Amino acid sequence: NSQTEYPTLEWGGFLQLDTGWIIQDQATVDAVGKVNTETGLRRVRLRASGNVSKATSYVIDLDFAASGHPSFRDVAVIFSDAKFVDHVEAGYFKQPFGMDAESSGRELLFMERQLPFAFAPFRQTGLRGFGTFPDENGTYAFSAYKTPTDSYGVSSGNNGGWAFATRETVLLVNNDDVLVHLGGGYSFGNPANNRVRYAVQPGFFVTDPSDNSATGIPAFVDTGNIPTDNFHLFNLELASQYGPFRTQAEYRWSIVNRPKMAPVNFSGGYFQAGLLLTGESAVYNRKRGIFSGVIPDEEFGDCGFGALELTAGWAIIDLNDLDIQGGRMQTLTFGLNWYLNSFARVIFNMIPVKLDAPTVGRADSLVLSGRLQLEF
Amino acid sequence: NSQTEYPTLEWGGFLQLDTGWIIQDQATVDAVGKVNTETGLRRVRLRASGNVSKATSYVIDLDFAASGHPSFRDVAVIFSDAKFVDHVEAGYFKQPFGMDAESSGRELLFMERQLPFAFAPFRQTGLRGFGTFPDENGTYAFSAYKTPTDSYGVSSGNNGGWAFATRETVLLVNNDDVLVHLGGGYSFGNPANNRVRYAVQPGFFVTDPSDNSATGIPAFVDTGNIPTDNFHLFNLELASQYGPFRTQAEYRWSIVNRPKMAPVNFSGGYFQAGLLLTGESAVYNRKRGIFSGVIPDEEFGDCGFGALELTAGWAIIDLNDLDIQGGRMQTLTFGLNWYLNSFARVIFNMIPVKLDAPTVGRADSLVLSGRLQLEF
Amino acid sequence: NSQTEYPTLEWGGFLQLDTGWIIQDQATVDAVGKVNTETGLRRVRLRASGNVSKATSYVIDLDFAASGHPSFRDVAVIFSDAKFVDHVEAGYFKQPFGMDAESSGRELLFMERQLPFAFAPFRQTGLRGFGTFPDENGTYAFSAYKTPTDSYGVSSGNNGGWAFATRETVLLVNNDDVLVHLGGGYSFGNPANNRVRYAVQPGFFVTDPSDNSATGIPAFVDTGNIPTDNFHLFNLELASQYGPFRTQAEYRWSIVNRPKMAPVNFSGGYFQAGLLLTGESAVYNRKRGIFSGVIPDEEFGDCGFGALELTAGWAIIDLNDLDIQGGRMQTLTFGLNWYLNSFARVIFNMIPVKLDAPTVGRADSLVLSGRLQLEF
């Protein structure tokens, strides 16, 4: 009887304790100021989820370390017996655009998402249909959403505010040895506040960039507010896996149409790879079209050591076009992931940063950072 | 053994995703400004409750969508083996005054409470005795409380700050066919900040009126701060049910005594009705003296549709007296409630609003709004 | 199989509803202003904790009544199969320094910690080793931490910011009749913001002193910000128990080294005692080296009354040295603790306060306060 079986409610979550600092040359200090080191809790997530009927579920995911203390992460209702798609979701959730954006903050190869993440619509309030192609050989998702929405999922204003996003992925190859993932995404939007702003930090920060009290790591590149009629976003994804070796690459660009001014174009991309020295293969989640973590063959403890992954990556973002001179940045990232068991993970990242700042030209810095992550 | 059986803790909650907009004539724009549409999460509630002994229970109910992110809802301790009353409650809770105020935000006939809700003391920190008359033929509640208290239940100040409230209801008729509910309430208070303010929005808003960052729906009528010695509040309730048809009406008035000035009087009332097309009867909660939702005969799904209720109502509030010209407002509300199952509900409301603003006179507008609600 | 057994998650918490007021003479009004009475929720704690493996646990403890709504309390990961110490903890937690600081806010003899608590580093983000000596005949703890950290555990800045703390306790006597506890603590720190500030309220407040919106009880003594190179903190603890009678005393001092100025020294101490009229003995927690509450022989209810404890204490703090004239304060505290059962407790405190204020000299006031506490 559904009256007694439902509703269900389960708790889960994870926490991340980060520390890091940035070694700056004088040009970087001139461009972005003297940067603080930061230590603290990057994410403290508590997530209640459950079902109110066999086909109707909900999720309330809160991040108590984010600037809203808590800010909303996914707060949504999902219907799973829809007619034309596998699932329909309504609420505040990640808009379908980009492989790194779709990955959870606890599933990333490095400590933070790569530089082109600056363009992703990410979490907004909307309505989404999503599911998998036959035999789970790919995924589809399309969404209508309000933009911008605040970190509690509220949008207001009278000047448009509607947008669309879609992401599709397919597995070109998927046999015992090799997996090849191809994906694409598109989003079009007319922001209610008639502006767009792209900015990003170089791979490390503890306090949320949107936290007014943050005294930590500033954005190294930043367009400032751009008066906007509407925007187009495009994305390409390519990923592969060969046993313990995995790669992931994305290229993303944005066209911002401005009132009475020429449109501006920005772009960015990254390539990254990981090699599991202990021989495991990262889990590829076929329902979501992403890599979602590593389960070590042996747990760290009396006799085991866990799993060890060497990682490396390159990323670029270019926020210069016409009169908008937001800067260009490239990063290399070298890292080590130590998966103690399915729930605990330690990350080290070393990130040489090459900034081409509008004011000072070439500027170099080096990020050194580490994380302790626990999922439950 | 109580040491092992207690304490208990259970989680529940609900969420509401709202959208709506207001079509304004020029006079309304002149009176309250151009009003934004709003979309977002109106309420995201998580509630921990349990017992520490057979007769001692607690509740911590938090609204993560409200302006405090979270604000407190009920945070209280309840003793249930008191000598002279059924229950004694201490903490931050809804003061006993008004049928719509006593109803939870998930149990309302429309999306929001009716206009005279502006007068209700609502949640304050205090001490309450409450229970039911013999055979649950009515309810009583009386409370002493601090006022004003902030959204975390804290009151401070040296100038009074004490108030009293009481609500009593009886079932005049209660047989298989017909139920007739009569109720009354009274509150007297001496606010610590020596002021009172009444204001209300026309039946729709997503962000809390007390949220400073709110850019959404303004109050259409508003007394502003009134210097106050003390206030009296009176309330009458009348409700009935005849099978699938239910009605509810309240009339409420306030007397505000001012230092060295004549007292001012404000009042408001509403009448509303609902007809369940699918034949169910709304649940009347005899312990609380309110209607508390609808359980559909058939759930929405393979063969069922859920329950459908047509609703209509009228409300008025008058905030003009002597030198205080806060405005008058009337609303009609037409609505549809679709109860998919005991936990999921969709609401549509259409609200013609007639505002008599002090500055511009007669002004008309129309609210169109909808809600998806999930309880768990 | 650990994959199915872990992770675990359990909820607990407690709430405190406080009320109190302060009767001031004119000198106190001149020194600290007219003080408000306050009523409200002092602490509303929800705590999720569990294990992700046999030896790896976590805790996320949030205080929804504290100024951050919620602020973090303990948010940490604990490893319990470390090689050289019993436990290693990483995250945001109470630094090991002081017996009253180590006691939870629900375990205190009075409503608030005694005046010298002003010096304690308390919760900061760091790394701690801790455990017990053989046969649990004492405890040890040493910690490296970042300072200052905000109420979400984040530290930033480039000017130092590292500190150390340690606390050791031993049971000098521990037989059926008598327990004698001796303890000591030390902390050295170089604050990232190059300043230190000590301030404290006289034994009662509802809103957090750090809450900007607080209009309640001000600090009666306050050094203001002191430019600081680094600080030393020292602490001595002595406690005893003889059946239903327990005593606890601490003496604490601070040396603040200032750039280009002479160092300043501040100190404080307290002595307090409790007598359980109903004959129980307070629980002494040997793993933590503190008294941790009372379990009544009989619960309050049909035939029992619970446990009753008479309490008394004296405390002093001196924040005057050289050019820093923060004031001196002494308090006596007389109290009554009524433990209804293991989870519910009522406290009454009466606190004569003698303030020696820099501006007005001798000033007297009297605090009367009460608390209802429920743990779950």
The shortest CB-CB distance from A341 to any of C48, C53, C60 is to: C53
Give the 3-state secondary structure of residue B274. strand
The shortest CB-CB distance from A374 to any of C3, C52, C149 is to: C52
Q: For residue B345, what are the β-bridge partners?
A: B339, B373
CB B345 within 8 Å of CB B373: yes
Q: Answer whether C154 sits within 8 Å of A34, measured CB to CB.
A: no
Quick one: average pLDDT of B36-48? 95
d(C-alpha B340, C-alpha A8), whole Å: 17
Q: Answer whether C376 sits within 8 Å of B158, measured CB to CB.
A: no
Residue in this structure with the two tokens 């304050």, named with its chain if needed: B124
Interface of C to A at Cβ within 8 Å reads: 2-3, 6-9, 11, 48, 50, 52-53, 55-56, 58, 60, 62, 68-70, 72, 75, 77, 81, 90-92, 125, 146, 149-150, 152-158, 161
The shortest CB-CB distance from C154 to any of A206, A299, A342 is to: A206
In degrees, to the nearest 5, what angle opens at C-alpha B362 toward C-alphas B361 and B365? 130
The shortest CB-CB distance from C39 to any of B72, B77, B155 is to: B155
Quick one: average pLDDT of A127-153? 95
Interface of B to C at Cβ within 8 Å reads: 2-3, 6-9, 11, 48, 50, 52-53, 55-56, 58, 60, 62, 68-70, 72, 75, 77, 81, 90-92, 125, 146, 149-150, 152-158, 161
DSSP state at residue C343: S
Nearest to C130, CA basis, from C181, C80, C180: C80
The set of residues, in sequence order, having a beta carbon less than 8 Å from that of A6 and lying 6+ positions away, is: A51, A52, A53, B343
- CA B77 vs. chain centroid, Å, equals 21
Reported as a single tens digit per residue, the pLDDT across A306-322 is 999 999 999 999 999 99
Burial of C10 (0-12, 13-18, 19+ CB in 10 A): exposed
Give the 3-state secondary structure of residue C119. helix
d(C-alpha C291, C-alpha C56), whole Å: 26
Query: What pLDDT is recorded for position C1?
Result: 43
> Position B9: which residue type?
L
The set of residues, in sequence order, having a beta carbon less than 8 Å from that of A359 and lying 6+ positions away, is: A30, A31
Six-digit token pair at B273? 């009705």
Quick one: average pLDDT of B96-122? 97
CB C250 within 8 Å of CB C270: yes
Measured in angstroms, the CA of B125 and the nearest CA of chain C are apart by 7
Share of chain C above pLDDT 70, in %: 97
Share of chain A above pLDDT 90, in %: 87
Quick one: average pLDDT of C215-231? 92
Neighbour-count burial for A214-237, b at 16+ CB within 10 Å, e otherwise: bbbbbbbbbbeebebbbbebbbbb
Chain B residues within an 8 Å CB radius of C340 = 56
d(C-alpha C228, C-alpha C324), whole Å: 13
Reported as a single tens digit per residue, the pLDDT across C37-89 is 899 999 999 999 999 998 999 999 999 999 889 999 999 999 997 778 999 99
Q: Answer whether A216 sits within 8 Å of C52, measured CB to CB.
A: no
Reported as a single tens digit per residue, the pLDDT across B252-287 is 999 999 999 999 999 999 999 999 999 999 999 999
> Position A333: which residue type?
T
Query: What pLDDT is recorded for position A350?
Result: 98
CB B300 within 8 Å of CB B278: no
In the predicted structure, residue B371 carries a pLDDT above the cut 50: yes
Neighbours of chain B (3+ CB pairs under 8 A): A, C
In the predicted structure, residue B212 carries a pLDDT above the cut 80: no
- CATH code for the domain defined by B2-375: 2.40.160.10
d(C-alpha B95, C-alpha B233), whole Å: 12
What string of DSSP letters covers A238-265? EEEEETTEEEEEEEEEEEEEETTEEEEE
Reported as a single tens digit per residue, the pLDDT across A50-63 is 999 989 999 999 99
d(C-alpha B178, C-alpha B246), whole Å: 10
Query: What pLDDT is recorded for position C303?
Result: 81
Query: What pLDDT is recorded for position C209?
Result: 60
State phi, psi for C102 to the nearest 5 degrees: -70, -25
Give the 3-state secondary structure of residue A365. strand
Query: What pLDDT is recorded for position B1?
Result: 44
Count chain A–chain B contacts defined by CB atoms under 8 A. 112
In degrees, to the nearest 5, what angle opens at C-alpha C64 toward C-alphas C63 and C65? 95
Fold assignment, A10-375 = Porin (2.40.160)
Residue in this structure with the two tokens 């301790």, named with its chain if needed: B77
Q: Answer whether B60 sits within 8 Å of C44, measured CB to CB.
A: yes
Nearest to C353, CA basis, from C316, C311, C312, C310: C316
Q: Answer whether B152 sits within 8 Å of C343, measured CB to CB.
A: no
Position A157 confidence tier, pLDDT thresholds 50, 70, 90 = confident
Q: Answer whether B91 sits within 8 Å of C17, measured CB to CB.
A: yes
Q: Answer whether C40 sits within 8 Å of B7, measured CB to CB.
A: no
What string of DSSP letters covers A79-141? ES--SSSSEEEEEEEE-S--HHHHS-TTS-SSSS--GGGGG---EEEEEEEEEE-GGG-EEEE
In the predicted structure, residue A94 carries a pLDDT above the cut 90: yes
Reported as a single tens digit per residue, the pLDDT across B181-207 is 999 999 999 999 999 999 999 999 998
> Position B366: which residue type?
L
Asked casually if ipTM beats, i.e. exceeds, 0.85, the reply is yes
Q: Answer whether B52 sits within 8 Å of C17, measured CB to CB.
A: no
CB C315 within 8 Å of CB C116: yes
Measured in angstroms, the CA of B210 and the nearest CA of chain C are apart by 15
d(C-alpha A184, C-alpha B293), whole Å: 45
Measured in angstroms, the CA of A134 and the nearest CA of chain C are apart by 30
In the predicted structure, residue B2 carries a pLDDT above the cut 70: no
Chain C residues within an 8 Å CB radius of B58 = 15, 374, 376
**Mean pLDDT, chain C, whole residue set:** 94
Neighbours of chain C (3+ CB pairs under 8 A): A, B
d(C-alpha B153, C-alpha B74), whole Å: 9
The shortest CB-CB distance from C153 to any of A36, A40, A376 is to: A40
Chain B residues within an 8 Å CB radius of A52 = 341, 343-344, 374-376
Position B209 confidence tier, pLDDT thresholds 50, 70, 90 = low
Interface of A to B at Cβ within 8 Å reads: 2-3, 6-9, 11, 48, 50, 52-53, 55-56, 58, 60, 62, 68-70, 72, 75, 77, 81, 90-92, 125, 146, 149-150, 152-158, 161
CB C296 within 8 Å of CB C250: no
The shortest CB-CB distance from A68 to any of B13, B36, B69 is to: B69
> Position A96: which residue type?
P
Chain B residues within an 8 Å CB radius of C69 = 68-70, 152
Q: Answer whether A41 sits within 8 Å of C72, measured CB to CB.
A: yes
CB B149 within 8 Å of CB C40: yes
In the predicted structure, residue C301 carries a pLDDT above the cut 70: yes
* Architecture of the structural domain at C23-43+85-375: Beta Barrel (2.40)
In the predicted structure, residue C3 carries a pLDDT above the cut 90: no
Burial of B243 (0-12, 13-18, 19+ CB in 10 A): middle
Query: What pLDDT is recorded for position A212?
Result: 45
In this structure, how many other beta carbons lie within 10 angstroms of the beta carbon of residue B362?
Answer: 13
Residue in this structure with the two tokens 């007639």, named with its chain if needed: B354
The shortest CB-CB distance from B154 to any of C41, C344, C374 is to: C41
The set of residues, in sequence order, having a beta carbon less than 8 Å from that of C80 and lying 6+ positions away, is: C55, C56, C57, C86, C87
Position B39 confidence tier, pLDDT thresholds 50, 70, 90 = very high
Quick one: average pLDDT of C310-335? 98
Give, in order, the Cα–Cα distances in Å from C282 to each of A90, C169, C245, C273, C278. 53, 18, 8, 11, 11
Nearest to C311, CA basis, from C112, C25, C56, C89: C112
Q: Answer whether C52 sits within 8 Å of A207, measured CB to CB.
A: no
Can you give the residue ranges of every domain in chain C?
23-43+85-375
Six-digit token pair at A202? 């170089």
